[in-house]
Structure 1
């Protein structure tokens, strides 16, 4: 009796813990799979733990598959979603289940448990046998025929018919074409040709190479200068330059970026940029921003050239002034087609001007850029209001150093400021003692109070009453 009682106790299922959730997955299914792989003796606790893990893994797989379904903007889950989810979870995907349509499941009764299976599509054997075979493709052969005779396309099997030409006219063209237009032309699956690689003729390639070698030839003497002038003259009026513009823009940008220590190379690139701007037969509006970036680098670069001395500093000032003139031409020439180009150039130069920690040569380029890109309006509204701060933080310290290099920097910076101020009047740069009025004491004090003592005194030395009035009119914008 005791042995029988013990047997009943051991065969009874263990009591379920309080609060333990019910399993949604059938434990008998897990037991059948375990026995199929060779695990014949598996305990109840291990079976329950394995069933829990199976539920968790299947739920995790379904959640990942739902993400792919929602990303595809669908409401039905497909086998591809399950396959992608298994790859994401680093599980070997199921092969052989690749269907783009929803699967239809049938139910079969197998004892007390229902069995679901995928219904196979029934195919009529007679219909399959009587379906005509596809046409056999023709063998590869070469032949001759006329594409056009005196401008008229002959009606030959090898040529495109007039009906097909009308259909091709309705097909979308370009990378941003709307594929819906193809439906209007009767094309269910329109095929788009890939972008064609940009090709130029061998003559243009040879011309570009010769031009590069001519501009980079730094041989001293009249012969080298004459060769460079001749090369730039061809750029100014060469009608077929449009196809070479991407190569010119890329070459200018690369040379400016990698040769900031070579004044000669930078000068040649700016000369080439000027020649391109003077060519009226090409369209540069697409490349205006790229060319402006190269000119800005020469204008506001912190260190240009690797030589020291007064002559090297003067060469830098000449290069920056040349770059500023090109910035002005770019800003005004393409301001109608590129609305943001001119404000961006003025903003960049003004930002460099308002930083007193910059070197005087950088401030020189900033003043030149603001004046050339902005014009008289920007000089009156923005430049004049910041000149007093430039004088106190830059000009006064340079004046106190009293060494030859500082004197050159002082005169150059002060000179470009005065030259920019004279843009307020329509006259050319006024010479000294070119009086068109009398500077009253009150007027002189107002000019000095607005611009500072150093800049104001230099402006008053011009003795230009019209310029003084234009400067004082800017007080309305304070």
Structure 2
């Protein structure tokens, strides 16, 4: 009756149960003249049901750690299908099948022995199995556990502690008191099966939950609500200032860390860009606090900040919203973490560099991910850029060209433009110092591909500005700072000089005194400002970070330049090189010192 499923070349599919078998089964339940199509459909369905039951039975066998299928496995499989199991077919032994063939068919059957019904009827009946019953007992009476068989045996806490200590410490007897543990020492070399212990056993201090006071809870609530934008902008700035200066935040640091971590996860899912910026500002404020140590919480903060840096989509409209500033802020925060907490134990900078380089090498991600990876590597230092970013410029140029030619994807076009501008701005000063002055456009294009043209023009502009400033400095005897100068600490008040596009010069000074700046000097200052803006640094001043918008000039140096003939000659030479033919005279307020200095450095 049972046949293997096979396909004849000239006939239909042959199933395990033939159509004749289905018709015989139908006649046994009173259904005669069964249609052949219906019998074929029933044969397919019955074959599927049987295979499903056998497969589920095999699962019960595997979970029972057995290699032999039993009748109980079949019953359990039927129960999972809400089918009443078959009663009377129970055998714990293996039931062998016998094989017979005839008429071109094969049949497997079980050998059945004959049973004498008279002996079966005269045999005594088996005992009726007991029903499932419930019995109640007392767990405790007035806080004392009664000694009944249903309850676990009585054991004191001291005995349990001794047993646990004996199991965790090698070579300790089970009934040895805890008081002798302080005198227990272990040799440096134990048996190979024992644990090697080189120090005395000491008790572990139990963990305790530190509860916050009512004032701390109120402070935490106010700070978090203000930082995530539920309050006004002024209150948000005050909250960030409090986080960066308050010396008593060490107890609230775990709560703030968890809040930032969970907040970044939630807002990344909801694509809330402003909330992500506020959370990163909280991280930056906590890093600025000199009384806090964030080293114990880097495992929570670094993944969150790194996600904001290299995540593919941070907002709902990447082509319109400014998520680039969020990536820049995340890169600066990671750089600050590396400078403050990197050591040989955690290897924070090495691990971050490896992850950013891996994100940069993944060409399947969007250009926004490459922007974040390159920005993070730029913040880690020029050595990282020279070894990881510069060799990738040719590939990045190809990706940018592919994105700009794809007119159907506006997001990638905007990302490609942003990435190209950032590479031109950040990599040009490094190429200025690493490439020889004899390089031409063909060399740049051969090394950097499509980005060679813009990088060559930018490096050429930087070289011309540097050569012009050095020649003027040597001719006038006044030393000018090179691009990206080190910090210069001058205690005198600062004068901010801003040159507008129309040639006007604006100056701000703490104490007002009328001073006139002639048009040639204004033109010279305009040229100096253009040079400072192109190099991304400050010509003279006391700023710890490079200024990209306006140069900062010490009032002492500026006053000395006003009274020094050599300095005036230098400014006149600069004025002759200015592009604007006529620049009006501008009034400024400058506070010169009582004793002007005649030389400047």
Q: TM-score, normalised by structure 1?
A: 0.49
